[in-house]
Amino acid sequence: MSIKLKICGMKVPANIAEVIALQPDYTGFIFYPGSKRFIADPDPLLIRNIPAAIKTTGVFVNEELEKVKSAILKYDLKAVQLHGHESADYCAALKGHAEVIKAFGIDADFDFSKLDAYTAQVDYFLFDTQTPDHGGSGKTFSWQLLEHYKNETPYFLSGGIGIEQLAELENIKDDRLYAIDVNSRFELSPGLKDIGLLRTCKLILAKI
């Protein structure tokens, strides 16, 4: 299983450069003001100059559709990750402008059938821990709940993934697992990534 890596939630330019040097598959920039990792009005070149092989991803929560489209153009985003209550029609309106990743918070009460309406409108799902804060909680959810996922759309796995969880990825025998999304467990402080831990993360993923 070749699992891609998305590193999310950077906001310090020098640290971003260090993360880019690790060559992750995706980098996430959070454009949601309610997040501790909100990147407020960055220099467009900071994101536009990231090598094309690394898919720059804008993370939004219930944002106006036209503002998301404007951000795609301004920052040359390769993907958008939607963490709010965005509808399937909203996702469809972004298809073709960038890859569309629709996030859902998972807990024991989550109804996976709600994903059916989105299947044709998104490129990927992202499964995160259900919290009121739209991600970044540092908490994991029970990966056994993924047994209830019946769609064919590939997905990102998120939610409190740290070094100690990486070895457990081998237990997920699911070709739909496309990538992991790491954030708060690989930080020195909100938005400042621990490059040593991320380097170890890459080495572990390469062996899975």
Alpha-carbon dihedral sign for residues 156, 162, 165, 166: positive
* Contact (CB, 8 A) for 180 and 3: yes
Query: Region 118-127: what's the mean pLDDT?
Result: 97
| Active-site residue flag, 91 | no
User: Is the pLDDT at 204 greater than 50, yes or no?
Assistant: yes
User: Is the pLDDT at 183 greater than 90, yes or no?
Assistant: yes
pTM listed for this prediction: 0.94
Query: Region 165-173: what's the mean pLDDT?
Result: 86
Residue 112 is part of a domain; what is its CATH number?
Answer: 3.20.20.70
- Which of 43, 76, 111, 128 is flagged as catalytic? 128
The residue segments making up the domain with residue 147 are 4-207
Q: Extract the runs of DSSP E, i.e. beta strands, from 34-186.
A: 55-60, 79-82, 99-106, 124-129, 155-157, 177-182
Average pLDDT, the chain: 93
Poorest-confidence range of 106-110, 121-125, 149-153? Answer: 106-110
| Residues counted in the chain | 208
User: Helices 13-21 and 195-207: crossing angle, nearest 10°?
Assistant: 20
Q: How many domains does the chain have?
A: 1
| Active-site residue flag, 128 | yes
Using pLDDT thresholds of 50, 70 and 90, give the confidence band for residue 148.
very high
User: Is the pLDDT at 134 greater than 50, yes or no?
Assistant: no
pLDDT at residue number 139: 66
User: Is the pLDDT at 123 greater than 70, yes or no?
Assistant: yes
pLDDT at residue number 167: 82
Query: Region 93-106: what's the mean pLDDT?
Result: 96
- Which of 8, 91, 181, 201 is flagged as catalytic? 8
